[in-house]
Structure 1
């Protein structure tokens, strides 16, 4: 199956964001819905992606080989352990910088948003911060604690992994 330039770029997005969800790809690709993402995946990239046991989207080994990007989480770290290195969008890296540590009290999405506004002079919307926290949780570097609202903190010390911020 020969891929168009657009399909290769989108496959590269899957590789760099994996494990990911339809919503993350929908936002990245400017699509209207998660079903539009699903239709695209099935029609253009069916041989190069799969859904893991948690229904998260990942590139196949052949898909990774087709594009010239490194996976966000190295393959040896994908089985639930803490990765040594992750590649994430700049907002995600900023979230990691301000998020409570593993021994601190977990904090709400709004609390993280306020810290981002103060520390980085950034003004992302609440959904972008919530999505970033969810993505980081899937990469096993953030954990959630359910209180009145879901709250988050680092799963491990900041020094336990390296963060490479990608341009959006």
Structure 2
């Protein structure tokens, strides 16, 4: 797994969704003043996950798409990056996490709580880090929210029935 921070993963997901893209487009999205700032960020933080095509447009590697779970070239609502998708395609563990996670109107829960529910409900025993990554991936898809208490806790951002979850290869 990568050692990217949450911010780096979010920005990498932007590269995946917006590709092929330009420095200026990413700069607008990331609140950066110049193409040089974007180029510097890409080189210093995401160097292994992007490249420039023959037209010098920025594209994400296939590994970037796998890491972020973002769909290449697809932005649900460019005007609202916080829009909730109607349908997501995720790996099986992510779908299981979505099914057991506290609903939007319930008290949020810790990674360990979700892990215990997965064990009880599905008889699986993933690593806590895999559960955390699944929750963060679902958060980046705007279907899970983080509530900061003593430790970060999670719950669905919308009613469970508002999002169709399909099992697929995306992360």
TM norm. shorter chain > 0.5:
yes
Deviation at 1:80, TM superposition (A): 1.2
The aligned length equals 122
Tell me the equivalent position of 2:99: 97
CA distance in 2, matches of 1:73, 1:155: 24
* Structure 1 residues 38 and 73: alpha-carbon distance in aligned structure 2, compared to 1, 3 A threshold: closer
* Structure 1 residues 72 and 125: alpha-carbon distance in aligned structure 2, compared to 1, 3 A threshold: farther
Tell me the equivalent position of 1:40: 48
CA distance in 1, matches of 2:118, 2:73: 24
CA distance in 2, matches of 1:19, 1:117: 33
Q: TM-score, normalised by structure 1?
A: 0.61
CA distance in 1, matches of 2:141, 2:126: 21
Provide the aligned C-alpha RMSD in A. 3.4
Deviation at 1:20, TM superposition (A): 8.9
Q: TM-score, normalised by structure 2?
A: 0.60
* Structure 1 residues 20 and 125: alpha-carbon distance in aligned structure 2, compared to 1, 3 A threshold: farther
What secondary structure, in the 3-state scheme, does the structure 1 residue paired with 2:130 have? helix
Deviation string 1:41-100 (CA, Å, 9 cap, x unpaired) is 3457773139xxxxxx67xxxxxxxxxxx9289523462111111111111100000000
Does the CA-based 8 Å contact 2:51-2:59 persist in structure 1?
no
CA distance in 2, matches of 1:137, 1:92: 11
Does the CA-based 8 Å contact 2:86-2:163 persist in structure 1?
yes
* Structure 1 residues 71 and 88: alpha-carbon distance in aligned structure 2, compared to 1, 3 A threshold: same
Tell me the equivalent position of 1:49: 60
CA distance in 2, matches of 1:158, 1:125: 24
What secondary structure, in the 3-state scheme, does the structure 1 residue paired with 2:58 have? coil
CA distance in 2, matches of 1:161, 1:73: 21
Tell me the equivalent position of 2:7: none
